[in-house]
Amino acid sequence: MTRYRIGVDVGGTFTDFLLMNEEGDAQVYKVLSTPADPSIAVIHGLSVMAEKRNADLGRFLGQVEIIVHGTTVTTNAVLTGNVAKTGLLTTRGFRDALQMRRGIREELYNNRYLPPRPIVPRYLRIPVEERIDFSGKEIRPLSVQDLEDGAAKFKENGVEAVAICFMHSYADGSHEEAAAERLRRLMPDAYLSVSSRVLPQVRFYNRVSTTVLNSAVGPILEKYIRSLTAKLEMHDFKGLLLIMQSNGGVTSPEVVTELASSTLLSGPAAAPVAGIAYTRLHGYGDFITVDMGGTSFDAALIKDSTPLVTTDGKVNRFALALPMMDVHTIGAGGGSIAWIDDSGLLRMGPKSAGARPGPVCYGLGGTEPTCSDANLLLGYLNADHFAGGKMTLDRPMAEKAILEKVAQPLGMPLPEAAYGMCHIMNINMASAIREISVQRGYDPREFLLVCAGGAGPIHAAMIASELEIPRILVPKESSIFCAAGMLLSDLKHDFGRTYHTIFSGKDMDVARFLSLIDDLQREGDRILALESIPVERRMFQYSLDLRYVRQYHEVNVPVTMEDLRTFNGESMKEAFHRQHDRLYGYSLREEGTEVELVNLRLTAIGVTDKPALKEEEYRGKNPNSCLKGTRPVFIPSQRDFGVVPVYDGDRMGFGHELQGPAIIEQTNTTIFVPPEYEVACDAYGSYLLRLV
């Protein structure tokens, strides 16, 4: 009996599926997302797979070993404000820290700027008499009466989840643990988050914001996973369900519901994972992944096959300080809506038409002109063969929308208006790439551009031209790239502890330093054991957050176990100097400035079996057998339409080469090849575009 693995990526417009068998054969499926209940689209997509095999859903799921699921349930809850009713217990005198934030205006020159409304209103932020200092010493004991009064108020107001965040609990979490234990007795049905478990590190606002986010989305994720699991079990699924996290790893439902906030930015995190697997086949370690779907555009930079990681995330302007893939997201997708601002300038996005009603050309009731409507008019999309022929696009309706809402108001011809929409999208996406490359000291021209997403390959070469990137890789599975990345991900958990001291100074307690490292590793072992990962499949990566004395922000520096165990302070400080110099162009090595240690970090990895990418047979260089015909397509470099050959991408394969201009149509995406690019198909069915 054939066994399958399935990656499921729920997006704002489409839900993507990648089905792989034991031999590495892969099949791609897409269904429209159902934002009100994403599990409906998940089950629908699985049913489509079963129908393709002439089997009922139960029989098909009986052959599925693993489903890896990337969900936007928590993200959507925060973006829409539909989170669980949440209360906060915090140290007396600090209840307003959640509202005061960092005390810095996000938009200095916006006189109408308003900070976001806190997730927890003031009347549900309950002050508790207690205090522990930065060293872990108790200053004031925990008030049991305040806890009981707070619980009574929470119950009176229908609170579903509670966040507990006391001052300096990273140094000693005993007060938080005692508060949680009492609250479990007083509110047994409430979801609890304790900051000394969620984020036991300095910076109070980061810690309280992250803990509140965790509580606010915890019940929602629990309910969703319970619903999805019940539906899968109803159809006889007995395999393993794993959930994608923001750090680029997967975890079990039992573990992720305790740290629900780890899924808040999980959707885009799988693309860098997939990128590493695909680029390794071509010997590239430095690349930029971009994923353009129906709603958003995600960009990430990978150096030496290692994704950049950040602890400075934001979700709807709320701080999220858990380690996560450093993915820059903007509102730019196929459904991005065109609009004219007060000064008469054409804008694109960030508002999207989404799955329903979608672009005007979908014929589902959309009235606002979108990027996809412009691409249809420019000839990049095939009106009669969209989504492999499953949809027919309405060109006259798209023309009418762009004419009435863009071309006529701006006084320009229809083709010029459509190209203007497309060009602005390309500039916006190129700017997003500059933010993660040029602004961080990297030259994008030295990187490979890995382009994914259903809408991405149309724009890939145009974005690359804006940035002078000479090489592009469009993977065969580009339209469901994140779903592919999920199947290639390991189990992954991040742990950190604050230990603030002069690094390698005379007052540093090396024994305590090593003890904290051991504590982190024991915690990593515990979680991986819960997930049934054998010892031989466990890996641990270590790093330190270091900074120069009197600096505010730290630099994360990877270190080896050997350096830690032998406490090779000079080696670790030298690694910090090099990292600081690379990031900021200077170091204070020669000045002899002291280095501070702020946090210790550990990443626990459970190595999973990964499906192998299957090589194709060589088909020769000439792709003429795949030629479908020609059609007029807008050529940006010529600022005019030209007759362009159209190839069937589903029939193209290893060895095929062609010179642009060309259109390559696959079932779930379209690749536009400008005249200045040539294309070669590799052994895995991916397309390599090279500037000539």
Last residue of a domain, one of 162, 189, 222: 222
Pair of tokens at residue 434: 């500059």
Q: What is the DSSP string of 190-254?
A: SEEEEHHHH--SS-HHHHHHHHHHHHHHHHHHHHHHHHHHHHHHHTT--SEEEEE-TTS-EE-HH
CB contact at 8 A, 353 and 337? yes
- Looking at residues 284-302, what average pLDDT do you find? 91
SS3 (DSSP) at 584: helix
Instruction: Return the higher-pLDDT residue of 140 and 480.
Output: 140
Q: Quick check: 105 pLDDT over 90?
A: no
Write the CB contacts of 279 (distance below 8 Å, at least 6 apart in sequence). Answer: 285, 287, 302, 305, 448, 450, 473
Over residues 144-179, the pLDDT tens digits come to 999 999 999 999 999 999 999 999 999 999 999 999
Q: Say how many C-beta atoms besides its own lie within 10 A of residue 390's C-beta.
A: 11
- Strand 161-165 with 191-194, pairing: parallel
Give a yes or no: residue 199 inside a domain: yes
Q: Are residues 100 and 180 in the same domain?
A: yes
Per-residue pLDDT at 624: 92
Q: Quick check: 504 pLDDT over 80?
A: no
Q: Are residues 87 and 172 in the same domain?
A: yes
Give a yes or no: residue 338 inside a domain: no
Element holding 28 (H helix, E strand): strand 26-32
Per-residue pLDDT at 448: 97
Q: Say how many C-beta atoms besides its own lie within 10 A of residue 432's C-beta.
A: 19
Over residues 387-434, the pLDDT tens digits come to 777 788 999 999 999 999 999 999 999 999 999 999 999 999 999 999
Last residue of a domain, one of 201, 222, 243: 222
Give a yes or no: residue 109 inside a domain: yes
Q: Are residues 600 and 643 in the same domain?
A: no
pLDDT over 70 percentage in the chain? 100
**Look-up of token digits 């499949």:** 537
Q: Are residues 597 and 655 in the same domain?
A: no
Q: What is the Cα–Cα distance from 166 to 155, expressed in whole angstroms?
A: 21
Instruction: Return the higher-pLDDT residue of 317 and 195.
Output: 195
Q: What are phi and psi of 212, to 5 degrees?
A: -65, -45
SS (H, E, C) 610-629: CCCCCCCCCCCCCCHHHEEE
User: Buried (b) or exposed (e) across 251-290, using 16+ Cβ within 10 A?
Assistant: bbbebbbbbbbbbbbbbbbbbbbbbbbbbeeeebebbbbb
Give a yes or no: residue 641 inside a domain: yes
Over residues 242-269, the pLDDT tens digits come to 999 999 999 999 999 999 999 998 878 9
Element holding 657 (H helix, E strand): strand 657-659
Q: Are residues 557 and 597 in the same domain?
A: yes
DSSP conformational letter for 585: S
Q: Are residues 552 and 677 in the same domain?
A: no
Q: Are residues 155 and 197 in the same domain?
A: yes
Could you list the residue range(s) of the whole structural domain that residue 645 is in? Answer: 624-691
- Looking at residues 354-358, what average pLDDT do you find? 79
Average pLDDT, whole number, for the chain? 92
Number of domains in the chain: 3
Q: Are residues 536 and 573 in the same domain?
A: yes
Q: Say how many C-beta atoms besides its own lie within 10 A of residue 469's C-beta.
A: 25
Over residues 50-89, the pLDDT tens digits come to 999 988 898 999 999 999 999 888 888 888 888 999 999 9
Pair of tokens at residue 182: 């009492």
Of 663, 659, 650, 649, nearest to 680 (Cα)?
659
Give a yes or no: residue 100 inside a domain: yes
Q: Quick check: 356 pLDDT over 80?
A: no
Over residues 616-649, the pLDDT tens digits come to 899 899 999 999 999 999 999 999 999 999 999 9
Of 650, 591, 674, 656, nearest to 620 (Cα)?
656
pTM of this structure: 0.87
Last residue of a domain, one of 167, 202, 222: 222
Per-residue pLDDT at 506: 72
Q: Are residues 141 and 84 in the same domain?
A: yes
Per-residue pLDDT at 462: 96
Q: What is the Cα–Cα distance from 241 to 247, expressed in whole angstroms?
A: 18
Q: What is the Cα–Cα distance from 89 to 221, expressed in whole angstroms?
A: 22
Q: Say how many C-beta atoms besides its own lie within 10 A of residue 638's C-beta.
A: 11
Q: Quick check: 471 pLDDT over 80?
A: yes
Q: Quick check: 1 pLDDT over 70?
A: no
Q: Are residues 206 and 96 in the same domain?
A: yes
CB contact at 8 A, 222 and 199? no
Element holding 548 (H helix, E strand): strand 538-548
The distance in angstroms from the start CA to the end CA of the chain is: 48
Give a yes or no: residue 234 inside a domain: no
CB contact at 8 A, 602 and 560? no
Per-residue pLDDT at 612: 80
CA 60 to chain centre: 30
pLDDT over 90 percentage in the chain? 68
Over residues 325-353, the pLDDT tens digits come to 998 888 888 999 999 998 899 999 888 88
Dihedral of CA atoms 648, 649, 650, 656 in degrees, nearest 10, equals: 100
Q: Quick check: 194 pLDDT over 70?
A: yes
Q: Are residues 195 and 90 in the same domain?
A: yes
Element holding 416 (H helix, E strand): helix 414-436
Over residues 13-53, the pLDDT tens digits come to 788 899 998 888 888 888 888 888 899 999 999 999 999 99
Pair of tokens at residue 78: 């925060």
Give a yes or no: residue 309 inside a domain: no
Write the CB contacts of 32 (distance below 8 Å, at least 6 apart in sequence). Answer: 13, 14, 15, 41, 355, 356
Q: In which band, very low, low, confident or very high, does the pLDDT at 103 lie, cut at 50, 70 and 90?
A: confident
Q: Are residues 637 and 677 in the same domain?
A: yes
Give a yes or no: residue 364 inside a domain: no
Q: In which band, very low, low, confident or very high, does the pLDDT at 111 lie, cut at 50, 70 and 90?
A: confident
